[in-house]
Chain A
Amino acid sequence: MFIEYIVGLSGLIAAGLFIYGLKAMSSPVTAVSGIVTAGYGMVFVVGATFLNLFNVSPDARPHLLVNVALAVVALLLGCLWTGWRGRTVQMTAMPQMVAIFNGMGGGSAASLAAVSLLSDHATSGLHLSVTIVGALIGCISFTGSIIAWAKLDGRMRKPVRFGGQRIFNAALFLISLVLGALTVMQYGTPEGVLPGILFFGAALLFGVCMTLPIGGADMPVVISLYNAFTGLAVGLEGYVMGNPALMIAGMVVGSAGTLLTALMAKAMNRSLTNVLFSNFGDTASSAKGPEGEMKSADPSDAATSMRYASSVIIVPGYGLAVAQAQQKLYEFVKMLVADGVDVKFAIHPVAGRMPGHMNVLLAEAGVPYDMIYDMDDINDSFATTDVALIIGANDVVNPEALTDKSSPIYGMPILNAYKSRQVFVIKRGSGTGYSGVQNPLFFQKNCTMVFGDAQAVLSKMVEAVKALGTA
């Protein structure tokens, strides 16, 4: 009795610390303390859970030693492996890392459901139904996240699509539901075992099939959705285990993740159904390109005109991160600032591979966050700015999104870089962006292309400004 109180209260404290931590993460100033606070909550509640060892069911008592040994080994293995991966992963690879860690949570929730079904102490049909629904969501999140990881990591370049895929997926989902219902109805009888196993198989397969047709550009939204799924699954399994801490933490993440998913989809001007079922990116490449010729310039010429400009706004895209040129860029920016140029960074909500990803990449290079502006805060400033420098970004500055109704990206909010007096674009070649759409901005009169690898171009720019000397 006494132990139950301690364990219960530790869960309560942990849930409180989680919510406080999430709240603290809402400002860059307190964000680090937020995750640390949440971390203390986790250590506390996991530690207290070991007190449950004194409280196991009589049937499990003979197995206790083996079970504890297994638990300790599993904890150590899990922590060591992901701790090491998390410490060493490149910042550019962060989205797929988040995907894999999220998938592990979903898998854990599904395993928890499976063990709970096996242990044969479930009582009501309601209880069983919640277990099954949680398992279904957890399984989808588990395998779906793994596919998302493979796509973002470049291991699966093409979306897998075939005729009748939607009908196939819908059928698979229905089969999972029917198998789940059979498992509940025949629970406790020998006939209930097979549907149970098939149910888990079908649910895992559905997670794969649901994610396969979705294009790489939409993966951030999908990861965010699966993050919410895992939260929901954890919350439901928390009910099954009679553990309110899991219910609260899971449901907080479930709703926060849903909101975050909606915000991301909105930033890309897509509805969630559109992301999940539309097969975006197939036909986009057939769009006709704008007429005209691109002008190109030497890096040192471009650098010189920025050096003598009074204001510069930089629009970084994923191409910058691919070239690992953030450090070089900030070196260049520091020189401009030292010479009295007003430099700002403009970040599109979907710059990088996840919302906020570009901010992380710039922060890694040492760019202070008060130089970085959101789209809504900076979009009016472009018209009064001398130079907009676009590096490795394309679709997010494509004015066609505002004007051309036939464009696949029509309606997506963009950064109004085209309004600046002069636009420089650092780009590898004259190809199209992630959406496969050609960008008429590059053909505009005030636009000059600087072709080359961002790292090399920026090095030349730094040299050029150095050669000019300080004012």
Chain B
Amino acid sequence: MMDSVTSMTFIIALYIFMLAAFTGYVVISRVPSILHTPLMSGSNFIHGIVVVGALDALFNATTLTGQIIGFVGVFLGAGNVMGGYVVTDRMLAMFRPSQKQTTEKKGQQ
């Protein structure tokens, strides 16, 4: 049986999930399709935060099995973070307006 604190935590978790889901929906719905690939890769980077959970799990590991799985988890999570960041950054750095427009804008300022 759940006590009242556990059930309250669970309800708060549902609130967080709901608000986060709306946030993701609203943020993405305004992205132009030319940025969809960097965006998929950018959001891929963001769920790399799982490495934080994996680190915590590894810090608290008490058995050899736990240490091995924790090690794999941190390795995979770190890979997700670094890989996601590098490819997103590389792709986004390539988007630039034409020279003509850039100079015009500079002239206006």
A interface list, Cβ under 8 A from B: 11, 14, 18-19, 21-23, 25-28, 31-32, 34-36, 38-39, 42, 45-46, 49-50, 52-53, 56-57, 59-60, 63-64, 66-68, 70-71, 73-83, 85-87, 89, 91, 94-95, 97-98, 100-102, 104-105, 107-112, 114-116, 118-119, 123-124, 126-127, 223-224, 227, 230-231, 233-235, 237-239, 241, 243-257, 259-260, 263-264, 267, 347, 349, 352, 354-357, 359-360, 363-364, 368-372, 374
Give every chain B residue within 8 A of A89 (Cβ-Cβ): 87
Closest to B6 in A: A124
Select the residue from A21, A36, A115 with max chain B CB neighbours within 10 A: A115
Alpha-carbon distance between A363 and B34 when the two chains are bound, in angstroms? 10
Give every chain A residue within 8 A of B83 (Cβ-Cβ): 82-83, 85-86, 97, 100-101, 104
Alpha-carbon distance between A356 and B57 when the two chains are bound, in angstroms? 37
Alpha-carbon distance between A35 and B90 when the two chains are bound, in angstroms? 10
Which of the residues B13, B69, B81, B91 comes within 8 Å of A247, measured between beta carbons? Answer: B13
Alpha-carbon distance between A245 and B59 when the two chains are bound, in angstroms? 18
Q: Are A105 and B32 touching (Cβ within 8 A)?
A: no
Number of A-B contacts (CB under 8 A): 402
Q: Are B47 and A59 touching (Cβ within 8 A)?
A: no
Q: Are B97 and A244 touching (Cβ within 8 A)?
A: no
**Is B63 engaged at the interface, CB distance under 8 Å to the other chain?**
yes
Q: Are A111 and B36 touching (Cβ within 8 A)?
A: no
Q: Are B80 and A22 touching (Cβ within 8 A)?
A: no
Question: Distance (Å) between the CB of A62 and the closest chain B CB?
Answer: 8
Give every chain A residue within 8 A of B97 (Cβ-Cβ): 28, 368-370
B interface list, Cβ under 8 A from A: 2, 6, 10, 13, 16-17, 20-25, 27-63, 65-67, 69-99, 101
Which of the residues A76, A119, A252, A356 comes within 8 Å of B39, measured between beta carbons? Answer: A356
Closest to A115 in B: B57
Closest to B49 in A: A249
Which of the residues A107, A246, A260 comes within 8 Å of B72, measured between beta carbons? Answer: A107
Q: Are B28 and A115 touching (Cβ within 8 A)?
A: no
Question: Distance (Å) between the CB of A205 and the closest chain B CB?
Answer: 18
Q: Is the interface of A mostly helix, strand, loop or mixed?
A: helix
Q: Are A245 and B49 touching (Cβ within 8 A)?
A: yes
Give every chain B residue within 8 A of A352 (Cβ-Cβ): 37
Question: Distance (Å) between the CB of B11 and the closest chain A CB?
Answer: 11
Q: Are A35 and B88 touching (Cβ within 8 A)?
A: yes
Question: Distance (Å) between the CB of B41 and the closest chain A CB?
Answer: 5
Q: Are A79 and B79 touching (Cβ within 8 A)?
A: yes
Q: A31-B95, A237-B53 are in contact. Are A98 and B61 (CB under 8 A)?
A: no
Give every chain B residue within 8 A of A76 (Cβ-Cβ): 78
Some 5 contacts from A to B, beta carbons below 8 A apart, are A26-B32, A32-B93, A46-B81, A249-B47, A356-B36
Which of the residues A74, A100, A123 comes within 8 Å of B6, measured between beta carbons? Answer: A123
Q: Are A25 and B17 touching (Cβ within 8 A)?
A: no
Question: Distance (Å) between the CB of A345 and the closest chain B CB?
Answer: 10
Q: A31-B35, A98-B40, A254-B24 are in contact. Are A259 and B29 (CB under 8 A)?
A: yes
Question: Distance (Å) between the CB of A143 and the closest chain B CB?
Answer: 12
Q: Are B93 and A354 touching (Cβ within 8 A)?
A: no
Give every chain B residue within 8 A of A49 (Cβ-Cβ): 52, 55-56
Give every chain A residue within 8 A of B71 (Cβ-Cβ): 70-71, 73-74
Closest to B91 in A: A360
Q: Are B42 and A374 touching (Cβ within 8 A)?
A: no
- Besides A257-B24, A368-B101, A370-B97, 7 other CB < 8 A contacts? A46-B81, A77-B78, A86-B85, A87-B86, A105-B44, A359-B34, A359-B95
Q: A60-B62, A246-B52, A252-B23 are in contact. Are A356 and B80 (CB under 8 A)?
A: no
Give every chain B residue within 8 A of A127 (Cβ-Cβ): 6
Closest to A101 in B: B83
Alpha-carbon distance between A107 and B48 when the two chains are bound, in angstroms? 11
